[in-house]
Amino acid sequence: YQDTNMQGVVYELNSYIEQRLDTGGDNQLLLYELSSIIKIATKADGFALYFLGECNNSLCVFTPPGAKEGLPRLIPAGPIAHGTTVSAYVARSRKTLLVEDILGDERFPRGTGLESGTRIQSVLCLPIVTAIGDLIGILELYRHWGKEAFHHSHQEVATANLAWASVAIHQVQVCRGLAKQTELNDFLLDVSKTYFDNIVAIDSLLEHIMIYAKNLVNADRCALFQVDHKNKELYSDLFDIGEENDGKPVFKKTKEIRFSIEKGIAGQVARTGEVLNIPDAYADPRFNREVDLYTGYTTRNILCMPIVSRGSVIGVVQMVNKISGSAFSKTDENNFKMFAVFCALALHCANMYHRIRHSECIYRVTMEKLSYHSVCTAEEWQNLMHCTLPPHIYKEIELYHFDISPYEDVWPAIFVYMVHQSCGTAWYEVHDL
């Protein structure tokens, strides 16, 4: 790790990072491995890697899998604020900081905030920032009391490695975003073919939408509510029960539930038509905690999207708990927005199709009723065949001013007589009348 070999080291690290990310590597674990390398390169006694908390206003210390049994992956380390720890200071300022003696620095009354068991004296703290300026995390390198303090050459080594790592991570994330976009386009094309080639049941369409929506944003649970504007309610009878069958989520059809459009996060999205991305559900007063108490499920974060058709919200898709990450990202929002446009088209067509089918059913029933009541019984037919008209009708019926209204009881017989006189009997069967 001499300066003369710095370019080669950076190149090797960059290649390693890209290879790991291309194969679906864990960003947090990868940065931890990189931090271990930087620790050796800077001859630090130890390090701590921090990531942002759920609301992006706090830091959490990363614990690699298997490091200490029973410890969570991310351990809360405190808020991002001045006058606390060196890591919080760097997270707020986003500037690298080299402190030779942290014990005597009044800016950090809590020092590093770490419980290492050994007094820490020199600290090199660096922000991990992407190429577009987003803060990923904080790397904190330290040396114990009595050791030589870090100097600027160590800072250059760490900064160079983290800079290239940030670029590599951003580059691969962009590629992943493009791949996700391609996947979305393929899915929309596939569903379009499936749906428009063979109109499917509305429940099947909703299930198809929910399955892909979960995969699109990597959510743990999903819910889709349709809007009843007449009664000002949201309703659904298809629910994600958190189970899988052959790798696909299982959705259970139950008794339909309805609730007021004035309640909850989904209700607000239905009313306003605006997207809601809530990183901490319990910190938001609009969240209804009773659902968690009833189900035993803990909601951490929510991404709620309206499905809009012809300027009106016809449905709401709600994603719950991001699986890989502290909260749903802006990329998740953008991908979901495009997906919601297609959902609106599909739901609108499905609803139109089912309204048409409903109208067809009503039409068939009506025609059956008309047909039934327009055909006489065998007994009525026999009576008609033996019915005789009053003698004077045969002369009066030829007159222009003939009035048929007084003879209502024999109208059918008059009709048969008129057909006989006009067409004869050779052109039809008498019983067909």
In this prediction, residue 48 carries a pLDDT of: 92
pLDDT band at 58 (very low <50, low <70, confident <90, very high): confident
pLDDT over threshold 80, residue 316: yes
Find the mean pLDDT for residues 318-339. 81
Residue 185 placed within a domain: no
Residue 223 placed within a domain: yes
Out of 355, 390, 406, a domain closes at 355
Quote the pTM value. Answer: 0.52
Q: Please give the backbone phi and psi of residue 403, each rounded to the nearest 5 degrees, phi first.
A: -110, 115
Residue 365 placed within a domain: no
In this prediction, residue 123 carries a pLDDT of: 94
Dihedral sign of CA atoms 414, 416, 419, 420 in order:
negative
pLDDT band at 73 (very low <50, low <70, confident <90, very high): confident
Number of domains in the chain: 3
Verify that 234 and 346 share a domain, yes or no.
yes
pLDDT over threshold 90, residue 198: no
The SS3 of residue 77 is strand
Verify that 346 and 386 share a domain, yes or no.
no
Verify that 289 and 393 share a domain, yes or no.
no
| Rounded Cα distance, 151 and 159, in Å | 13
| Rounded Cα distance, 79 and 289, in Å | 25
3-state SS string for 296-307: CCCCCCEEEEEE
pLDDT over threshold 70, residue 430: no
pLDDT of 75-121, one tens digit each? 888 888 888 999 999 999 999 999 998 888 888 988 888 876 678 89
Residue 360 placed within a domain: no
Give the residue, 147 or 337, on which the prediction is more confident. Answer: 147
Verify that 10 and 45 share a domain, yes or no.
yes
Residue 429 placed within a domain: no
| Rounded Cα distance, 48 and 140, in Å | 5
412: closest CA among 383, 370, 392, 390? 383
In this prediction, residue 1 carries a pLDDT of: 41
Out of 177, 207, 226, a domain closes at 177
pLDDT over threshold 90, residue 264: no
> Which percentage of the chain shows pLDDT scores above 90?
15
Verify that 15 and 147 share a domain, yes or no.
yes
Q: Please give the backbone phi and psi of residue 234, each rounded to the nearest 5 degrees, phi first.
A: -105, 145
CATH of the domain at 274: 3.30.450.40
Verify that 344 and 383 share a domain, yes or no.
no
Residues forming a β-bridge with 380 = none
pLDDT over threshold 70, residue 200: no
Find the mean pLDDT for residues 328-352. 77
Dihedral sign of CA atoms 38, 42, 43, 44 in order:
negative
Q: Which of 41-45, 275-279, 318-322, 399-403 has the lowest mean pLDDT?
A: 399-403
322: closest CA among 313, 332, 312? 332
CB 155 within 8 A of CB 96: yes
pLDDT over threshold 50, residue 346: yes
Residue with tokens 């969240």: 287
Residue 373 placed within a domain: no
Verify that 168 and 261 share a domain, yes or no.
no
Out of 295, 320, 355, a domain closes at 355
Verify that 222 and 151 share a domain, yes or no.
no
The residue range of the domain holding 409 is 378-423
pLDDT over threshold 70, residue 384: yes
pLDDT of 128-180, one tens digit each? 988 777 888 999 999 998 899 998 999 998 988 888 777 777 777 777 778 77
Verify that 148 and 233 share a domain, yes or no.
no
In this prediction, residue 431 carries a pLDDT of: 62
Verify that 18 and 123 share a domain, yes or no.
yes
Residue 367 placed within a domain: no
| DSSP letters spanning 209-230 | HHHHHHHHHTEEEEEEEEEETT
Q: For all residues of the chain together, what is the average pLDDT?
A: 80
How far, CA to CA in Å, does 419 sit from each of 137, 377, 385, 423, 424? 95, 20, 14, 6, 7
In this prediction, residue 8 carries a pLDDT of: 55
In this prediction, residue 203 carries a pLDDT of: 65
Residue 183 placed within a domain: no
| DSSP letters spanning 312-324 | EEEEEEEEEEESS
To which H or E segment does residue 41 belong?
helix 27-41
Verify that 351 and 394 share a domain, yes or no.
no
In this prediction, residue 399 carries a pLDDT of: 82
pLDDT band at 66 (very low <50, low <70, confident <90, very high): low
Q: Which of 189-198, 224-233, 336-345, 361-370 has the lowest mean pLDDT?
A: 189-198
In this prediction, residue 432 carries a pLDDT of: 61
Sequence-distant (6+) residues with CB within 8 A of 129 are 94, 135, 136, 166
In this prediction, residue 270 carries a pLDDT of: 92
Verify that 52 and 147 share a domain, yes or no.
yes
Q: Which of 12-21, 163-172, 403-412 has the lowest mean pLDDT?
A: 12-21
In this prediction, residue 2 carries a pLDDT of: 44
